């Protein structure tokens, strides 16, 4: 008799405690031996994930509970990585929806939940972070029910089981008044409410590729769920490609999951999630099947991208000084390699051989790709993000986003005014007892480009902003994205304290004394609407009355820190962002002449 199996995905809005809850499940399932050092955020193995505290890549693990194998798939909470969610939901038969006890469901909860309900999954709702002060757990459950009804859930899905939890403290409980001890109530709920996988071991083999990995020893590794049949190490199999062609090969290694490790197994049956090597050309959505009776599963459908940027070879005066990979061929090869695993990404050739149009789900989706590439040693330039328009029923349409803001009461007026200028329409507004307001808007995606920095200024850094793709609608009017002009370096050289101090009243700088600059490089934001070029390399003329140490007590105002995300939001249509492993520089396009002084 084979081991009972449950396949479950964990879905939630970003920062609702999903990864912390998975940590607690792993620790209490016996995955780690006594005395073993247990890392925090076990499933977030990627360096960027740990630094940012978000899940970017979908990953899976397996634990045993009451002689049942439970495969747990951790999914990203950010809508920009929805492609990761869509491709793994086909691997599972149920899901755990985690919501914050205070915030309730948020826009990106809606996005992921909608995908789960469309797949027919029946979620188990976990109201997390009940150990925090001033929370309303039952209110969060009511909001979840409202969201289920709004998304068209059937009667069975609306009768969802729910638990209360603290992932940080490591417990779940069925009733608020119960004492929280451990994660056993959640394990029991998974066994009770998640159906066992449907699949017939007697039918011909069908395994769908949902994730790709790579090993220096095994080459490309395919991860997916066996929908039908049995797979054995060493057997002959066929890969049905996206275009219908068939490639035959041998299963060189078959790996199962046990905790965080992959263990070699001789065979696996329908319902199990396994890793397979032997097919070097496999891509996501394709099917590994029986060579005698090849039957492909339906390809994974992923929503189309909504934002596009131009990636091009760096042609600034400082080009090639900091990166290891700088040519158009190297840039093209890297982008094509990204397509193999990033299903929501699209890459097209630009109007010249050194330009590539890269389309993604949002600024964060593309920003993570840029950050990953620069850490790998790539040097290139990117343009301002542009929304992708479509023609639907003969009418030009643009993507709209659902935007949720959590702001202090004094920031409400400023946010409503600016979003109104950006064509945002307010849908809902609630004032909490803690002096904060929750606002909901529907806004064109182009109206959000560059808004985050402005939002932080309006709320003095105390606001929380979340948004997710809603739908394509008819084109709206012009969006007012008013921004001051920029300060541009007048010549190549090194920025001096003397020049920066003299120009301080002209605006806010992005650089510090000692920074190398070149002609056309953006060094700050002007106080006025037009651009202004400055000589920031000018040195102080020393005389008997003016010494080099005479300004030691004078201080410059703090420069604006330009992170990658902030720079992507900031650049204008006639500007580029130069990205290298060591630097991020803003510049005017080469064809743009400098403003006259």
What is the Cα gyration radius of the chain? 27
DSSP-based three-state secondary structure for 441: strand
Q: Are residues 141 and 179 in the same domain?
A: yes
Residue 297, in any domain of the structure: no
Q: Are residues 385 and 395 in the same domain?
A: no
Residue 583, in any domain of the structure: yes
Q: Are residues 530 and 571 in the same domain?
A: yes
Q: Which residues are annotated as a binding site?
A: 15-20, 128-131
Q: What is the CATH number of the domain that holds 56?
A: 3.40.50.300
Q: What angle do CA 280, 285, 291 make, to 5 degrees?
A: 60
Nearest to 521 by CA among 318, 328, 324: 318
CA-CA distance, 43 to 23, in Å (whole number)?
8
Last residue of a domain, one of 440, 474, 508: 474
Q: Are residues 425 and 311 in the same domain?
A: no
DSSP-based three-state secondary structure for 533: strand
Q: Are residues 482 and 333 in the same domain?
A: yes
DSSP letter string, 394-434:
TEEEEEEEEEEEEEEGGGHHHHHHHHHHTT-EEEEEEE-TT
Q: Are residues 183 and 216 in the same domain?
A: no
Q: What is the CATH number of the domain that holds 397?
A: 3.30.70.240
Residue 13, in any domain of the structure: yes
pLDDT for the residue numbered 34: 47
Contacts of 445 (CB under 8 A, 6+ apart): 306, 307, 387, 398, 399, 400, 401, 469
Nearest to 449 by CA among 414, 416, 422: 422
Q: How many domains does the chain have?
A: 4
Q: Are residues 17 and 163 in the same domain?
A: yes
Q: Are residues 382 and 406 in the same domain?
A: no
Around 466, how many Cα atoms within 13 Å sit in the side-chain half-sphere? 19
Alpha helices in 269-311 (DSSP H): none
pLDDT for the residue numbered 40: 45
Q: What is the DSSP letter of 589?
A: -
Residue 93, in any domain of the structure: yes
Residue 321, in any domain of the structure: yes
pLDDT for the residue numbered 592: 42
Find the helix or strand (DSSP H, E) in which 108 lies.
helix 107-118
Residue 201, in any domain of the structure: no
> Which structural domain range is residue 94 located in?
5-193
Q: Which residues are annotated as a binding site for GTP?
A: 15-20, 128-131
Q: Are 280 and 259 in contact (CB under 8 A)?
A: no
Q: Are residues 142 and 282 in the same domain?
A: no
Residue 42, in any domain of the structure: yes
Q: What is the CATH number of the domain that holds 384?
A: 3.30.70.870
Q: Are residues 460 and 342 in the same domain?
A: no
pLDDT for the residue numbered 61: 80
Find the helix or strand (DSSP H, E) in which 236 lies.
strand 236-240
Residue 399, in any domain of the structure: yes
Nearest to 14 by CA among 101, 85, 130, 109: 109
Last residue of a domain, one of 443, 474, 505: 474
Q: Which residues of the chain have pLDDT under 70?
A: 1-2, 13-16, 29-59, 76-86, 107-108, 111, 260, 302-303, 481-482, 542-554, 590-597
Last residue of a domain, one of 170, 193, 216: 193
CA-CA distance, 513 to 25, in Å (whole number)?
51
Q: Are residues 271 and 353 in the same domain?
A: no
Q: What is the DSSP letter of 255?
A: E
Nearest to 418 by CA among 340, 469, 482: 482
Q: Are residues 344 and 358 in the same domain?
A: yes
Q: What is the CATH number of the domain that holds 225?
A: 2.40.30.10
CA-CA distance, 311 to 577, in Å (whole number)?
10
């Amino acid at each position: 008799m084979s081991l009972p199996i449950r396949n479950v995905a964990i879905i939630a809005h970003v920062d609702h405690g999903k990864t912390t809850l998975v940590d607690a499940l792993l620790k209490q399932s016996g995955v780690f031996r006594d005395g073993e050092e247990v890392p925090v955020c076990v499933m977030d193995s990627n360096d960027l994930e740990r630094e940012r505290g978000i899940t970017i890549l979908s990953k899976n693990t397996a634990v045993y509970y009451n002689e049942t194998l439970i495969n747990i798939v951790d999914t990203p909470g950010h809508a920009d990585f929805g492609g990761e969610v869509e491709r793994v939901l086909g691997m599972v038969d149920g899901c755990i929806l985690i919501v914050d006890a205070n915030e309730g469901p948020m826009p990106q909860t809606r996005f992921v939940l909608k995908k789960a309900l469309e797949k027919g999954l029946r979620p188990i709702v976990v109201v997390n972070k009940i150990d925090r002060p001033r929370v309303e757990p039952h209110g969060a459950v009511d909001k979840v029910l409202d969201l289920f009804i709004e998304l068209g859930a059937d009667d069975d899905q609306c009768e969802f089981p729910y638990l209360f939890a603290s992932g940080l403290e490591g417990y779940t409980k069925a009733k608020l008044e119960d004492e929280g001890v451990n994660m056993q109530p959640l394990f029991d709920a998974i066994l009770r409410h998640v159906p066992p996988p449907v699949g017939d071991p007697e039918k011909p083999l069908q395994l769908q590729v949902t994730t790709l990995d790579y090993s220096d020893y095994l080459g490309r590794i395919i991860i997916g769920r066996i929908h039908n049949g049995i797979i054995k190490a060493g057997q002959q199999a066929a890969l049905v490609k996206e275009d219908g062609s068939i490639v035959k090969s041998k299963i060189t290694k078959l790996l199962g999951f046990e905790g965080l490790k992959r263990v070699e197994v001789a065979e696996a049956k329908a319902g199990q999630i396994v890793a397979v090597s032997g097919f070097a050309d496999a891509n996501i959505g394709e099917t590994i099947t029986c060579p005698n009776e090849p039957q492909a599963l339906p390809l994974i459908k992923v929503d189309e991208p909504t934002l596009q940027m131009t990636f091009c070879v760096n042609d600034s005066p400082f080009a090639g000084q900091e990166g290891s990979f700088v040519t158009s061929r190297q840039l093209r090869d890297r982008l094509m390699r990204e397509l193999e695993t990033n299903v929501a990404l699209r890459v097209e050739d630009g109007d010249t051989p050194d330009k590539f149009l890269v389309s993604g789900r949002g600024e964060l989706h593309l920003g993570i790709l840029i950050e990953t590439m620069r850490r790998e040693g790539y040097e290139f330039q990117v343009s301002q993000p542009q929304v992708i328009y479509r023609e639907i029923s003969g009418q030009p349409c643009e993507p709209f986003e659902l935007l949720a803001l959590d702001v202090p009461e004094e920031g409400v007026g400023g946010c409503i005014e600016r979003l109104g200028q950006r064509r945002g329409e307010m849908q809902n507004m609630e004032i909490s007892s803690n002096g904060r307001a929750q606002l909901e808007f529907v806004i064109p995606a182009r109206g959000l480009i560059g808004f985050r920095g402005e939002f932080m200024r309006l709320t003095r850094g105390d606001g929380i902003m979340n948004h997710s793709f809603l739908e394509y609608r008819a084109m709206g009017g012009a969006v007012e994205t008013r921004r001051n002009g920029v300060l541009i370096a007048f010549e190549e050289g090194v920025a001096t304290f003397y020049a920066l101090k003299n120009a301080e009243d002209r605006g806010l700088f992005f650089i510090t004394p000692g920074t190398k600059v070149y002609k056309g490089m953006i060094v700050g934001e002007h106080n006025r609407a037009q651009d202004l070029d400055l000589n920031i390399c000018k040195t102080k003329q020393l005389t008997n009355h003016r010494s080099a140490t005479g300004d030691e007590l004078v201080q410059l105002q703090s420069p604006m820190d330009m992170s990658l995300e902030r720079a992507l939001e900031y650049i204008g249509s006639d500007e580029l962002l130069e990205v290298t492993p060591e630097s991020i520089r803003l510049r005017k396009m080469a064809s743009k002449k400098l403003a006259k002084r």
